[in-house]
Structure 1
Amino acid sequence: MLLPRSLFEMEVTKPSSKSDRRRFVLSSIFFIFFLCVLASINEARFDALLKFGRCTVDSASSLSLQTATFNSSDDNLLSVNSSSVSNDTDIRILIGILTLPDQYNRRHFLRLIYGTQSVSGAKIDVKFVFCNLTKEDQKILVALEIMRYDDIIILNCRENMNKGKTYTYFSSLPEIFNSSDGGGPNPPYHYVMKTDDDTYIRLNSLVESLRPLPREDLYYGYVIPCPSMDPFVKYMSGMGYLISWDLAEWIRESEIPKNNLEGPEDKVFGEWIRDGRRAKNRFNAKWSMYNYPEPRTGCTHELWPETIAVHLLKNQEKWIRTLTYFNVTANLKPSKLYHIP
């Protein structure tokens, strides 16, 4: 704002007469008054700006992000939420990816894979699961991951393939997630899943396949052996199988799993279910779940739109071909910041 010319150019000199002194005093008073008014206006505008800023921040922080996102809640970070306000009818799913502590790059990659998917009518939490840390670098690097992403479960066990890691995973879930004060949803998840870090799960397809199914006593996956379509004969493949929450609680409490821990873990899991006469509700997701089409075997087929999960993505080339087929970057927003043909 420009000052009035008469004030701006006013000479600050000693007045030579009473008349000059009077004009000087009046001009000074007017000038001081003008400065006070100007300061008051600026202060009011500044306060209003601060209030607006605080209001904007508070409003934004009160909103819950309802799309696929890295959610910074206390409970989990890698969370895929529904596109509408969550309610009691939404399916709640925990996906545990069994991996190893040193697989840092694989975990970061999978965070992209699952963090950029969105689903409707479901809340899906993705966690990376491994046994106790054994190296000094793991203690630092994994701790940093937990501080940043909060999506890791460290089980109280030694790393193993066929000596009880799967048992430790499922049996630990009720203790980890059941609320001691009765708060939160009950059960915390309708379904819990165990999958490999070389499996790509299309979350929307998974949710749609689960929607009509029971939420109790359920065992879901890819039936072994490959020619079989009967989920009541053998067991589900380790590429990824899912059970209802009540079965996780049964695994924790029953002596049957505790007394049969060693052996091919997914086959042993099927034996627990059989011996305990559990999982009267079984669902075979074949052929929407399958191995990567190369090399060709009787257990696979070409990629197709109805896919729920693709297994044996052992290298980057297979991952890229799979992600390209499903056009996972279709929702990339145009921007002046980048040019991707």
Structure 2
Amino acid sequence: MTMKPSSRSSQSKRFILSSLTFILFLCALASINEIRFDTFLMFGRCAFSNVPLDPSHNSSSFTSNVTSDGDDIRILIGILTLPDQYHRRHFLRLIYGTQSPMGAQVDVKFVLCNLTKEDQKVLVALEIMRYDDIIILDCKENMNKGKTYTFFSSLPEIFNSSDRPYPPYHYVMKGDDDTYLRLENLVESLRPLPREDLYYGYVIPCPSMDPFVHYMSGMGYLVSWDIAEWVRESDIPKNHLEGPEDKVFGEWLRDGHRAKNRFNAKWSMYNYPEPQTRCTHELWPDTIAVHLLKKQEIWIHTLKYFNVTSNLKPSKLYHIP
């Protein structure tokens, strides 16, 4: 059958019209999508531009996996050390900077008394500029003549800010620079515990398991924020500053009838197993803290036991067998 010229012409016009309509539809759709994309892009820029920059982002005030549900545990760890211990601080920044406990904000700060030498003033200032993880207290360096008191009593003023939640930290820990803290285990052990009137650590004397008899070892003891406020306000600590700092701290709480909530973390906290004493314990997986890591080889043995570099990602940049 032969199609008439007018019929072929009519079909051609309909085809052209349909094609033009389809092309216009595609253009309109692309335009709409472009508008949507640009709108979302502008919204994203706006949203992120209103987020304040965190000055501690490049510091070793290690903030780990903080969410916005308000239930995250906030912990301040103050490591009491000396101004000249530069290498020890850098080493500990590696140790704590590679730990990321979930659902917690853990800030590690190095606690010094007043600087006394010109090289300290320059080098410590550089550390502060780079890491922002140092607290310098108004005191003369000492171990058992009030540095611990100055640390705890200064915290409410140091962290008194309308920009922070209250309390700024749920817990404050005093630690030694020869203690290895496993932050995830520490956080998990704190989750079920009270956030007020709490005293946590390794009970002294070593054979004791009763946290209400004596005191917690200076390797690393932790209290709730309200106790730090009490230390600042009470006359009991002010009138009893000298003596073994951990023992004196326990005596403050006893005399002030504080810390009705106490937690003995033994044997998740212990002294390194060599030389063997009543306070030592073999390394084991449920460890929260190992104390008396005085030498490099002891640190290395401890870190190897806990496989701290097991998450090292493969790369063409290095080969570590």
SS of the residue corresponding to residue 128 of structure 1 reads strand
- Secondary structure of the corresponding residue to residue 79 of structure 1: coil
Shift of 1:77: 2.1
C-alpha distance in structure 2 between counterparts of 1:290 and 1:136, whole Å: 38
Give yes or no for contact 1:120–1:204 (8 Å, CA) kept in 2. Answer: yes
Match of 1:313 in 2: 293
Which residue is equivalent to 1:9? Answer: none
- Out of 310, 315, 318, the residue aligned to residue 335 of structure 1 is 315
Output one character per residue of 1:294-319: Cα deviation in whole Å (capped at 9) or x when no partner. Answer: 01111111100000000000000000
**Paired position in structure 1 for 2:30:** none
Alignment root-mean-square deviation, CA = 2.2
Q: Which runs of 4+ in 1 moved over 4 A?
A: 57-64
Equivalent AA in structure 2 for residue 219 of structure 1: Y
Task: Indicate whether 1:155 and 2:160 are aligned.
Answer: no
Aligned to 1:97: 79
Structure 1 position 225 matched with structure 2 position 205: yes
What residue is the counterpart of 1:193 in the other structure?
Answer: 173
How far apart are residue 73 of structure 1 and its match? 2.0
Specify the alignment match of 1:239 in structure 2: 219
Pairwise mapping of residues 1-341 of structure 1 onto structure 2 (< 5 A)? 73-74=55-56, 77-83=59-65, 85-179=67-161, 182-341=162-321
Q: Equivalents in 2 of 1:260, 1:76: separation in Å? A: 39
Q: Cα 1:213–1:187, aligned 2, differ >3 Å: closer, same or farther? A: same
Q: Secondary structure at the match of 2:156?
A: helix
User: Cα gap change, 1:333/1:76 in structure 2, threshold over 3 Å: closer, same or farther?
Assistant: closer
Q: Which moved more, 1:86-95 or 1:151-160?
A: 86-95
Aligned equivalents of 1:201, 1:330: Cα separation in 2:
17
1:81 Cα deviation from its structure 2 partner:
3.1
Deviation, structure 1 residue 72: 5.8
Q: Is the 8 A contact 1:75 1:150 kept in 2?
A: no
In structure 1, give the amino acid aligned to 2:318. Y
Using the size of structure 1 for normalisation, the TM-score is 0.78
Q: 1:63 offset after TM fit, Å?
A: 11
SS in 2 for 1:228: coil
What are the superposed Cα offsets for residues 156-204 of structure 1, whole Å, 9 maximum, x if unpaired? 000011110000000000000021xx33210000000000000000000
Q: 1:50-86 CA distances to partner (integer Å, 9 max, x unpaired)?
A: x9xx99x96997699xxxxxx9625982133343624
TM-score for both structures, normalised by structure 2: 0.83
Q: Percent identity?
A: 79
What is the alpha-carbon distance in structure 2 between the residues aligned to residue 310 and residue 134 of structure 1? 31
Structure 1 position 282, deviation (Å): 0.3
Is the 1:79–1:126 Cα contact (8 Å) retained in structure 2?
A: yes
Q: Match of 1:219, SS?
A: strand
Would you say the 8 A contact 2:268–2:289 is kept in 1? yes
Distance in 2, matches of 1:60 and 1:140, equals: 39
> Matches of 2:289 and 2:50 in 1, distance apart?
32
